[in-house]
Amino acid sequence: MKIFIIFLTNLFFLCNVYAEDISFTFDYMPSRFETRELTAGSRALGELCTSWAVMPDGTVCNSAFLNQNTKSFFLGRFYIGNGYSALSTANAVLLKPITKDTLKKVFENNSVITMESQIDLVFVTPYFSIEFAPYRIQYFSEIHNPNFPIIALHASLEKRVKLSGNLKLSRFTPALSQFTLGLELRLLDRKYIHNSFSFFKAIASPDAGLLPVNNQRAVFLDPSIGWASRKWPWKTRASIAARNIGKVWYSNSLYPEYTDIDIGVGVEPPVEIGQLGVGIEFVNLIYAQDFISRMRFGGSYKLGMMEIMSGVNANSLVTGLEFGVNIFQAGIVYEFIRNDLRGLGPENKISTEFSFKL
C-alpha cells in the first residue's frame, strides 16, 4: 500500500511537470536582434547609420551618402556574436533534423544564451551597391527550473538582398548641389522557430512537432535625403530617412517592422594625423517609447590600418576595433552593457568579424 501511494504521488508530480507552463514562452526579442546592419562597424558605432558616411569596412550604410565612397570594390564578410558553441547549437536547431543529442546539447548549455551570426557579400560603387546576405542567424534560449528543465527558444534564419542607389540633386538644379537622394530596396526571407517545451517531452518524442517553423517574407523601401555641406566646417552632414516602407507577408509581433523615420547629423573634426568622426542620431521617431530609446551617439578615430570606434545607445555601451592590411580585415567589438533580456540585468558580449576586400 505504501509503495502504491508513493508511486501515485510521483506520477502526479511527474504529470504536473510534463504539462509545461505555456505562458513561459517569452514574447519579446533581444533588442540586438532588431539591428538592421549586423556588422562590427555598425555595432561598435552604437548602430549609427543615418549620420555616417563611410563605415569602417568601406561600405556605406545610408544610401544618401553612397557618393562619398570614391572606390568600387567587392567585400565578403563573416560576423559572429557570442561564440562558437552557441553557433553550432543554433545551426543544429535550425538546419538539421531534431535529434535527442541536439536537444540534450540545448539543455546542457547555460540558462540564457543569445547568439547571432551573418555572412554577406557586398559590391559597392560610388553610385550603387548590392548586398546579398544568404545567412543571418539569430538564436535565443532561456532554460527555467534546472531540476525539470523547460526551455523557451527562438531561432531565426534570414536571407536578404539589398539594392541601394544614389542620385545627386544637382542634376535638377544647382541650388541643390549639396543634397543627394538615396534609395534602398530590401528583400527578406525569414524562417523562425519560437516555442517552449520540456526536456522530458523532447526526449520522449523529439519528432512531435516541438519546433514548428514559421515563414515570413518582406519587401521594404527606405528612401533618404542627405546633405553634405561644402561651406560649413568639419565636413558637416545630415540626413533624414524613412524606414520599412513596404509589406510583410505573415507579420508577427516578434518582428514589428514599423514604418518610421530616422534623422542623423555627423561631423569630422580636423585632426593633425588620422581621421576623426562623430555622429548623433534620433531613430524611430514615431514609434519609440521614450527619448532615450531614440538616441544613438558614436564616434571613430582612424589611423593607418586601424579604426577605433565607440558608441552608446539605449541598450548598450560599445567599443570596437577594426584593422586590416591590403585585402584582409578583422574586427572585434566589446559590448559592456546590454539591456537585452528583461529582468536579467547587464551582460558583457564579444563579437568578431572577418572580411576580405577585392
Partner 1 sequence: MIVSLFVGPYALAEVDYFDYLHKKSANLNLENKTNGWAYMISGALVLGGSIPGYYLSKEIFSKVIYTAGQNFGIAGIGYGAYLAFIDNDYKRFENILQKTPELTREQKNKLAYYFFKDRAEQAKRIRMIRVVSHGLSAGLNILNGLTSDSKELGLALFFLGGVNVLASIGLLFSQSAEEKMLTSSFSATPKFAALNITYHF
Residues that bind partner 1 (CB under 8 A): 72, 74, 80, 83-84, 121, 123, 125, 130, 132, 134-135, 159, 273-274, 303-306, 321, 323-326, 328, 330-332, 350, 352, 354
Shortest spacing between CB 332 and partner 1, in angstroms: 5
Which cell numbers hold the place of 24? 513561459
Q: Which residue lies nearer to partner 1 by CB, 29 or 38?
A: 38
Shortest spacing between CB 326 and partner 1, in angstroms: 8
| Helix or strand holding residue 349 (H, E) | strand 349-357
Cα separation, 302 vs 275, whole angstroms = 5
Q: Which residue lies nearer to partner 1 by CB, 90 or 280?
A: 90
Shortest spacing between CB 179 and partner 1, in angstroms: 26
Cα separation, 240 vs 28, whole angstroms = 28
Cα separation, 164 vs 157, whole angstroms = 23
Half-sphere exposure of 86 (CA within 13 A, CB side): 24
Which cell numbers hold the place of 143? 532554460
Q: Which residue lies nearer to partner 1 by CB, 24 or 301?
A: 301
Cα separation, 334 vs 349, whole angstroms = 6
User: Could you tell me which residues come within 8 angstroms of residue 5 by beta carbon, excluding any fewer than 6 positions away?
Assistant: none
Q: Which residue lies nearer to partner 1 by CB, 66 or 103?
A: 66
Q: Which residue lies nearer to partner 1 by CB, 82 or 239?
A: 82
User: Could you tell me which residues come within 8 angstroms of residue 132 by beta carbon, excluding any fewer than 6 positions away?
Assistant: 120, 121, 122, 160, 161, 162
**Residue 189 in contact with residue 217, Cβ under 8 Å?**
yes
| Pairing mode, strands 328-338 and 128-144 | unpaired
Shortest spacing between CB 104 and partner 1, in angstroms: 22
Shortest spacing between CB 110 and partner 1, in angstroms: 13
Q: What is the DSSP letter of 212?
A: P
Q: What is the DSSP letter of 32?
A: G
Shortest spacing between CB 136 and partner 1, in angstroms: 12
Q: Which residue lies nearer to partner 1 by CB, 82 or 196?
A: 82
Shortest spacing between CB 12 and partner 1, in angstroms: 44
* Closest to 355 (Cα-Cα) out of 38, 114, 31, 46: 38
Rg (CA), the chain: 23
Shortest spacing between CB 80 and partner 1, in angstroms: 6
Q: Which residue lies nearer to partner 1 by CB, 219 or 350?
A: 350
Q: Which residue lies nearer to partner 1 by CB, 175 or 273?
A: 273
